[in-house]
Amino acid sequence: MKKVIFSGIQPSAQSPHIGNYLGALRQWVELQKNYQAYYCVVDLHAITVPQEKKKLNDSIYATYAMLLAIGIDPNMSNIFVQSHVRQHTELTWILNCFTHLGELNRMTQFKEKSAKQTKIVSAGLYDYPVLMAVDILLYHTNIIPVGEDQVQHIELTRDIADRFNNAYGEVFTLPTARIVKETARIMSLSDPKNKMSKSDANLNATVFLTDKPDVIRKKIMSAVTDSKKSIEFDKKRLGLYNLLGIYKAVTGESEKEIENHFSGKGYKEFKSELAEALIEIIKPMQQKYTTYIADKTTLEIYMRQNAHKAAIVAEQTVRRVKEKLGFII
Ligand code: AQP
């Protein structure tokens, strides 16, 4: 029996960005070969902050198409849209009743995201970690390939699962987060103190996987750095350190090799080589993406087939939980 992995991405923009890709999605492609993979476009998570109908609808198709374009195989992996599997919402209600308010109050991502909301903060945003726990627990997930920002959510997932198991007997598998250290947190190009985000209002902060070569060049060349000259890995030089981290992740070269390569060269040369390296890895994804996004009928067939497969497993889990609780099933 293969071990199970689950991971999700929010359709909160027209495309994932290089932070999503290097921090998580690139691993998804490799992991699907050795694991039973569930990859989910988490539209229910996306509506925890306000979304426009048309943009959200486009982003769901676009995110799904990009996952196929980067190499997720819908016949090997279970790649589906979260709202197509109703068990996610059903189990969320149940596990809400096994989650403590104090636990949700401690969630760093809620604090960060709620602070950014200008109008209202929805109860959904507060409850986001429980929905995420359900995403993971429904499929008996063993491993979750994620960026560092999600580790606290995985710990909460384990706590909720453990609490339920202790009260009612073994139902849930306790999952473990899997993180690639170097690329776990790609930072904003305009403000390297903050992580790169799809929903950043400043478009220069983020390189999207759908950005055209000239846009990538412009964004990288205008990335915030410092007034020093040398190109070296120095954690205190936030902007440069972030760009070097991206370069390292994209080229696969070691820090020593990179520093030797750029010894005696300045920001201009470094940034233009970084931009070209990014364009090179993104180009084949964009070519495939153009084909997938042009054929929504085929995308919908993949979505429905995969949701159907996921729902069979999810329903077994929900029934087991209900039975344990004493519900009549
Ligand atoms: N900057 C990042 N560096 C590395 N990994 C990242 N991830 C997100 N941002 C970075 C990882 O990408 C996966 C999908 O993320 P998500 O769409 O589920 O949600 P998010 O973490 O909230 O991503 P964004 O880009 O910041 O979107 P918005 O702006 O909508 O909130 C996750 O595994 C995440 O860790």
Residue 311: name the closest of 75, 28, 14, 89 by CA: 89
What pLDDT score does 47 carry?
Answer: 97
113 flagged as catalytic: yes
pLDDT of 184 higher than 80: no
Residue 107 lies in a domain: yes
For residues 112 and 222, state if they share a domain.
Answer: no
pLDDT, position 224: 97
Q: Is the pLDDT of residue 1 over 90?
A: no
Pick from 138, 216, 150: which is nearest to 180 by CA?
150
Residue list, ligand 1 pocket, CB within 6 Å: 8-10, 12, 17, 19-20, 23-24, 146-147, 149-150, 184-186, 195-199
Residues 107 and 20 in one domain: yes
The CATH number of the domain where 91 resides is what? 3.40.50.620
Among residues 9, 8, 13, the alpha carbon closest in space to that of 201 is found at 13
Distance 19 CA to ligand 1 centre (A): 7
DSSP state of 2: P
| Cα–Cα nearest to 241, from 252, 253, 225 | 225
The total number of structural domains that make up the chain? 2
Closest CA relative to residue 70, chosen from 284, 219, 245, 326: 284
Domain hosting 163: range is: 4-184+296-325
Q: Is 195 labeled as catalytic in the residue annotation?
A: yes
Residue 74 CA, ligand 1 centroid: distance in Å: 22
Q: How many percent of the chain have pLDDT more than 90?
A: 91
| pLDDT single digits (tens) 126-177 | 999 999 999 999 999 999 987 777 899 999 999 999 999 999 999 999 999 9
Same domain? 115 vs 22: yes
Closest atom, ligand 1, to C-alpha of 186: 3
Catalytic pick from 113, 219, 248, 271?
113
* pLDDT of the residue at 150: 87
Rounded distance, CA 126 to CA 62, Å? 27
Distance (Å) from CA 172 to ligand 1 centroid: 26
pLDDT of residue 185: 87
- Tokens 């233009």 sit on residue: 272
